[in-house]
């Protein structure tokens, strides 16, 4: 299987599991459920759940054992996007080429859909833990603890982003913001995949460094696309960051330097992953995909 | 110790634990932390954590073993109030006599403070579970699962409340809304206290019925106070529900009938609890306190 086929396999798996979740979710409020499904199925890249599945499969074959966490991670990511788009935060009308949740429904529905997704992610995993044997229980509790830390850091990063809109921030603080806002859940995804697969502490550490690199690269590429991307491919307006006075890698360092930083960081990520295991081809290709994506 | 002294003892215990939490919370963003502390310490009645502690103490003396869940429950409740007050939902300026979170800070901070409190509640409990022995682990996972269900139902109830503003709803649906919006966390609190204390299935069922009654009574009293309460004591404007066209027990049945329903339900709650254990004096008095409170 080449990279594109493998990527598609993962995305199909994840979408199938998400559809199953949306269909069986017991929330009795039909419109709230519909709004949750609308945002969950709005065609994301599924990067975070892919990282859980592909990191897990570096060590073990039975990747269905990491499905629940993959789904929960995408639910958490979707919650963060819905709240991020709200009028009180970024006030975005479009996401992935579709109306944002509060534009499609209304603000109250968007706030509560986000809340429900965050809570639903925990509910899904805790039910799974309650039904696991002792050994699996401990492993999954540790993975869930990692998730809760990742979410905490993601929210802190989001807060910094909001707070510093229109202000200049130091390069250290810009990096720190992104380590939290985008990086935290990407790193947690890789760590959770490794933890569930019972990787050694040393492997988890190495993979975390890889995750930090691709997390930062992902954000730099986001900043580049926000400046020069194709609006139709991106599914959202281009140039928004600059208009809002957001401090990004492009507004701070210029386009050329940002592109160079991106190239270097991806090379560093590949160096870490290629020396460490024979099964890392997919994760090498994924790093390149993050660099070269158009949306 | 009489009821008032015991109530104060519980509130002091809970406030001490909440202050400890706010002080040691590791979120590096000072203003976000401050906003979380502001709403957590804004002087709530602490009904839900009191229910966890007092139900636990029906069966066992070491109530400090239920502190973590009590704190987490109050964090969840505070999250729900912050989001409920947002301009996109109830658009309230005052809560407990103080400016609401988004009025004191801003909307983005309020959204993210709420998100952070919900996530922080889970983080707190999951860390505790990770550090517990096998037997405690299973018990606490089941209690956390109950909490996640309670939150899910609370969010659904909140959604119904928003959706039906300005519309007439059936008495069954009004009751169903409140069973979820206010009742779910009150019921979960009682169940969690009993589960942590290893109460029998039969006791948990009985206590759940008591919790359903006081949850409904709490809401009816809320509706009455919203109509005829003292604005200064309540700490928020009176008459808001009617102005907004909210369907409440008072707007639907009239003041006198609502008061009669309240009396009956509290009597039913007391009937359940008094026949069932000798240590239930506090919970009997608590039911009366819910009926007679002025704020």
pLDDT tens-place string over residues A154-175: 999 999 999 887 788 888 888 8
Q: Where are the alpha helices (DSSP H) in chain B?
A: 3-24, 30-40, 47-59, 67-85, 101-104, 107-130, 134-163, 171-181, 183-196, 201-228, 231-234, 240-243, 249-253, 255-274, 281-292
Please answer yes or no on whether A126 and B116 come within 8 Å at the CB atom: no
The answer to whether residue B27 scores a pLDDT higher than 70 is no
Collapsed DSSP state (helix, strand, coil) of residue B91: coil
Q: Give B157-179 pLDDT, tens digit per residue.
A: 999 999 887 788 888 888 899 99
Question: Touching check for A88 and chain B: CB below 8 Å?
Answer: yes
Q: Does residue B280 register a pLDDT over 90?
A: no
Those of residues 146-205 in A touching chain B at CB distance below 8 A are 148-149, 151-152, 155-156, 158-160, 162-163
Picking from A155, A162, A163, A195 by the largest number of B CB atoms within 10 A of its own CB, the best residue to mutate is: A155
pLDDT at A277 over 80: no
Contact A86 B114 (CB under 8 A): no
pLDDT for residue B30: 84
Of A232 and B93, the one with more pLDDT: B93
A278 vs A179, more confident: A179
Domain that holds residue B162: 3-292
Chain-chain contact of A115 with B110 (C-beta, under 8 angstroms): no
B107 to A88: CB separation less than 8 angstroms, yes or no: yes
What pLDDT sits at residue B228?
85
Give the count of alpha carbons within 13 A of B150, CB side only. 29
Distance from CA of A260 to the nearest CA of B (A): 30
pLDDT for B159: 94
Contact predicate B220/B79, CB 8 Å = no
pLDDT value at residue B170: 87
Q: Which of A233, A215, A291 is nearest to A258 (CA)?
A: A291
Phi, then psi, of B182 in degrees rounded to 5: -100, -40
Residues in chain B: 295
Q: Is the dihedral of CA A18, A22, A25, A27 positive or negative?
A: positive
What distance in Å separates the CA atoms of residue A54 and residue A13, rounded to the nearest whole number? 12
Residues in B touching A89 (Cβ below 8 Å): 107-108, 111-112
In tens, the pLDDT along B106-142 reads: 999 999 999 999 999 999 999 999 999 988 999 999 9
Give the confidence band of A276 by pLDDT, cuts at 50, 70, 90: low
Residue A255 has pLDDT above 90, yes or no: yes
* pLDDT at residue A28 greater than cutoff 70: no
Question: Residue B112's pLDDT is what?
Answer: 97
Q: What is the pLDDT of residue A278?
A: 60
* pTM of structure: 0.95
Which chain B positions have a beta carbon within 8 Å of A115's beta carbon? Answer: 79, 83, 114-115, 118, 155
A97 pLDDT band, cuts 50/70/90, is confident
Q: What pLDDT, in 10s, does the model give residues B67-81?
A: 999 999 999 999 999
HEC letters along A93-147: CEECCEECHHHHCCHHHHHHHHHHHHHHHHHHHHHHHHCCCHHHHHHHHHHHHHH
Q: Residues of B numbered 232-291 whose beta carbons fall under 8 angstroms of chain A's beta carbons: which are they? A: none
* Inter-chain contacts counted by CB atoms under 8 A, chains A and B: 147
Choice between A213 and A274, residue whose per-residue pLDDT is larger: A213
Nearest-angstrom CA–CA distance, B26 and B36 = 12
In chain B, the residue whose alpha carbon lies closest to the alpha carbon of A86 is B108
- State the DSSP code for B278: T
Q: How far apart are CA B152 and CA A112, in angstroms?
A: 10
Whose tokens are 């939490």? That residue is B21
Q: What is the pLDDT of residues A80-96, one digit of tens each?
A: 999 999 999 999 999 88
Q: Are A224 and A195 in contact (CB under 8 A)?
A: no
Is residue B277 very low, low, confident or very high in pLDDT (cuts 50, 70, 90)? Answer: low
Q: Can you tell me the distance from the alpha carbon of B165 to that of B90, in angstroms, rounded to the nearest whole number?
A: 10
Quick one: tokens of B262?
Answer: 């309240």
**Chain A neighbours among B 1-30 (CB < 8 Å)?**
27-29
Q: What per-residue confidence (pLDDT) applies to A247?
A: 82
| Residues composing chain A | 295
CB of B122 within 8 Å of a chain A CB? The answer is yes
Question: CA of B104 to nearest chain A CA: how many angstroms apart?
Answer: 14
pLDDT at B166: 77
**Which residue in B has a C-alpha nearest to residue A127's C-alpha?**
B145
Contact criterion met (CB < 8 Å) for A160 and B29 = yes
Domain count, chain A: 1
Q: Give A127's contacts in chain B (Cβ within 8 Å).
A: 145
DSSP letter, residue A43: -
* Closest residue on chain A to B126 (Cα): A145
* CATH number where A101 lies: 1.10.600.10
Q: Minimal Cα–Cα distance from B145 to chain A, Å?
A: 6
Complex ipTM, two decimals?
A: 0.95
Is the per-residue pLDDT at A26 higher than 70?
no
Partner residue facing A155 (CB), from B107, B116, B151 = B116
- What pLDDT score does B32 carry? 93
- Kindly indicate the confidence band of residue A105, based on its pLDDT and cuts at 50, 70 and 90: very high
Greater confidence (A27 vs B8) lies with B8
């Amino acid at each position: 299987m080449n990279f594109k086929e493998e990527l598609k396999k993962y995305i199909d798996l994840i979408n199938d599991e998400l559809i199953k979740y949306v269909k069986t979710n017991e929330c009795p409020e039909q419109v709230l459920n519909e709004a949750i499904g609308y945002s969950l199925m709005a065609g994301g890249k599924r990067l975070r759940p892919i990282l859980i599945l592909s990191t897990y499969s570096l060590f073990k074959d039975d990747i269905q054992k990491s499905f629940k966490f993959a789904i929960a991670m995408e639910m958490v990511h979707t919650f963060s996007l819905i709240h991020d788009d709200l009028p009180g935060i970024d006030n975005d009308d479009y996401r992935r080429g579709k109306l944002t949740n509060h534009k499609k429904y209304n603000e109250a529905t968007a706030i509560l859909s986000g809340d429900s997704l965050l809570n639903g992610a925990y509910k899904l995993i805790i039910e799974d833990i309650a039904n696991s044997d002792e050994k699996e229980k401990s492993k999954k509790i540790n993975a869930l603890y990692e998730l809760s830390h990742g979410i905490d850091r993601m929210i802190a990063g989001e807060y910094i982003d909001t707070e510093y809109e229109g202000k200049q921030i130091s390069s250290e603080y810009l990096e720190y913001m992104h380590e939290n806002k985008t990086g935290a859940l990407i790193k947690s995804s890789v760590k959770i995949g490794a933890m569930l697969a019972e990787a050694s502490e040393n492997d988890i550490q190495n993979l975390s460094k890889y995750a930090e690199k691709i997390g930062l690269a992902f954000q730099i590429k986001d900043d580049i696309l926000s400046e020069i991307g194709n609006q139709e491919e991106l599914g959202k307006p281009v140039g928004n960051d600059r208009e809002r006075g957001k401090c990004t890698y492009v507004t701070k360092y210029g386009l050329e330097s940002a592109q160079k930083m991106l190239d270097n960081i991806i090379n560093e990520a590949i160096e870490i992953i290629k020396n460490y295991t024979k099964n890392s081809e997919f994760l090498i290709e994924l790093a390149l995909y993050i660099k070269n994506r158009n949306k």
